[in-house]
């Protein structure tokens, strides 16, 4: 991290809570599905196997509050709500893809390291 090696380690660094809210379990996956196309609440939920309604609601609110996704209410009956990625959110695609690509590329190494570690501990 050339250039900002000092501030980020301070508890009051402004980027810390952002990093926490954006680099979490579900946000990356939500952004990925929405980047392909805008989707409605339950459409997102169906695509993200394992997410609960509560977790999805919370993650979407957080992303909306941070300007990453937009929420549009379509006044039909029953109500339809469409979520889409904002221009700001699109700029996150590159960093996220890099991180995801890393996990895929190094998955064998990591799993090997885990086996080694567990064997050392257990015998």
CA 77, 80, 83: angle at the middle one, nearest 5? 170
CB of 105 to its own copies, least distance (A): 8
48 and 78 in contact (C-beta within 8 Å)? no
Measured CA to CA, the distance from residue 58 to residue 66 in angstroms comes to: 12
CB of 97 to DNA, least distance (A): 24
Burial label for 48, CB within 10 Å (0-12, 13-18, 19+), is middle
Q: Does 114 bind DNA (CB under 7 A)?
A: no
Concatenated DSSP letters for 99-120?
A: HHHHHHHHHHHHHHHHHHHHHH
Of residues 40-99, those binding DNA (CB under 7 A): 40-43, 52-55, 57-58, 60, 71, 78-81
List the single partner that 63 binds among its own copies, DNA, none, CB under 5 to 8 Å by kind: none
Residue numbers at the binding site for its own copies (CB under 8 A): 1-2, 4-5, 8-11, 14-15, 18-20, 22-25, 28-29, 32-33, 36, 47-50, 64-67, 88, 91-92, 94-104, 106-107, 109-114, 116-118
Query: Binding-site residue total for DNA (CB under 7 A)?
Result: 17
């Amino acid at each position: 991290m050339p250039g900002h090696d000092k501030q980020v380690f301070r508890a009051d660094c402004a980027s810390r809570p952002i990093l926490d809210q954006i680099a979490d379990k579900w946000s990356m996956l939500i952004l990925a599905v929405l980047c392909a196309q805008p989707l409605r609440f339950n459409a997102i939920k169906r695509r993200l196997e394992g997410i609960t309604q509560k977790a999805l609601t919370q993650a979407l609110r957080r992303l909306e509050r941070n300007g990453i996704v937009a929420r549009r209410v379509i006044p039909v009956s029953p109500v339809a709500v469409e979520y889409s990625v904002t221009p700001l959110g699109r700029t996150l695609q590159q960093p996220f893809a890099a991180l995801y690509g890393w996990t895929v590329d190094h998955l064998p190494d990591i799993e090997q390291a885990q086996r080694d570690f567990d064997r050392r501990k257990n015998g």
